[in-house]
Amino acid sequence: MRHLKPEKEEKSGKLPLYLTLGIVLSILAAYFFWPAFGETVREGWEVLLSGDQERISDWVMQFGFWGPFFIILFMVLQMFLFVVNVMLLIIVAVLAYGPVWGSLLSLSGIIIASVIGYFIGKVWGSKVVHKFIGRKSSAKVEAAIARYGIWAVIIARVSPFLSNDAISFIAGAGNMPFLKYMGATIAGITPLIAFIAFLGNDLEQLKTGLIWVSVVSILGFIIYYFYDRNKRKKAGKIEKR
């Protein structure tokens, strides 16, 4: 994986990039120039921030056919606004549409958001990434991805309480292969979605379970970190000989 590029470069296969830009610009244009749409988005954020699960479910279900569209839309928006954790949106989808359809909806939304975040990083590079998450945070995430590759992506996705939006931007800006990035994203987020779907109806049990999943995943990463560091030290000593 390369370091974050300071400027965008000419790449072959521009269609996915143009589609990404088109989606982002369309959402922004609708928000600012379509009053009804903007009001609905603002109301949705208020409901989501309330933390009232019944109110959230009722609000989503009132849209009927358009409900899944709004859930996916919020999954994309939260990547840029850093207000609502994607985990809450997964819970909303499961509560509103059940464990099977809610899980499929959540997975689809995260895939779409991940693709958009990846190509934003790929097109605009480090300047935009730094604006979203700051230079210091960018450097830390970049170093983790450069050293641990797809495992850094998997850990970020599977940990419920880690903010993983930076992963998408930096994976794109650092030219991580797209298929590897998406494979790691799906491998990390799928177990978390399945876990939430399994315990979604018992919120207290779900809360406890998510804490344990987060702790175990972080501990696993720490163990791997020290194992890797020890392995590198031994390799360095052998080379010196």
Q: Is 164 helix (H, G, I), strand (E, B) or coil?
A: coil
> CA dihedral in degrees (172, 176, 180, 184; nearest 10)?
-70
More reliable by pLDDT, 140 or 15:
140
Query: Are 106 and 89 within 8 A, CB to CB?
Result: yes
Q: Give the per-residue pLDDT at 148.
A: 75
For residue 15, give the amino acid letter.
L
Q: What is the band of 133 on the pLDDT scale with cuts at 50, 70, 90? A: low
- For residue 2, what is the DSSP state? P
What is the value of pTM for the model shown?
0.68
Residue 105's pLDDT band (cuts 50, 70, 90) = very high
> Residue 164 in contact with residue 132, Cβ under 8 Å?
no
Range 16-36 average pLDDT: 76
Q: Pick the closest to residue 87 from 239, 227, 210 (CA basis).
A: 210
Domain boundaries, the chain: 15-240
CB contact burial 104-136 (16+ within 10 A = b; e otherwise): bbbbebbbbbbbbbbbbbbbbbbebbbebbeee
pLDDT grade, residue 182 (50/70/90)? Answer: very high
- The pLDDT-based confidence of 241 (bands split at 50, 70, 90) is low
Q: How much is the pLDDT for 60? A: 79
Q: Which of 11-15, 26-30, 62-66, 190-194 has the highest mean pLDDT?
A: 190-194
**What is the chain's mean pLDDT, rounded?**
76
Query: How confident is the model over 147-171, as a mean pLDDT?
Result: 77
pLDDT value of residue 186: 94
Task: Please state, in angstroms and rounded to a whole number, the distance separating the CA atoms of residues 232 and 229.
Answer: 5
Predicted confidence (pLDDT) at residue 71 exceeds the cutoff of 70: yes
Q: Region 203-227: what's the mean pLDDT?
A: 75
Quote the pLDDT of residue 160. 64
| pLDDT greater at residue 78 or residue 113 | 113
Under the banding of pLDDT at 50, 70 and 90, the label for residue 11 is very low
User: Given a cut of 60, is residue 119 above it in pLDDT?
Assistant: yes
The Cα–Cα gap between 134 and 184 comes to: 24
Whether 133 and 191 have beta carbons less than 8 Å apart is answered as no
Residue 239: pLDDT over 60: no
Whole-number Å distance between alpha carbons of 72 and 63: 13
pLDDT at site 154: 85
* Mean pLDDT on 15-25: 64
Residue 112 has a pLDDT of 93
3-state secondary structure of 162: coil
Q: Contact at 8 Å (CB) between 103 and 156? A: no
Buried b (16+ CB within 10 A) or exposed e, 162-192: bbbbbbbbbbbbbbbebeebbebbbebbbeb
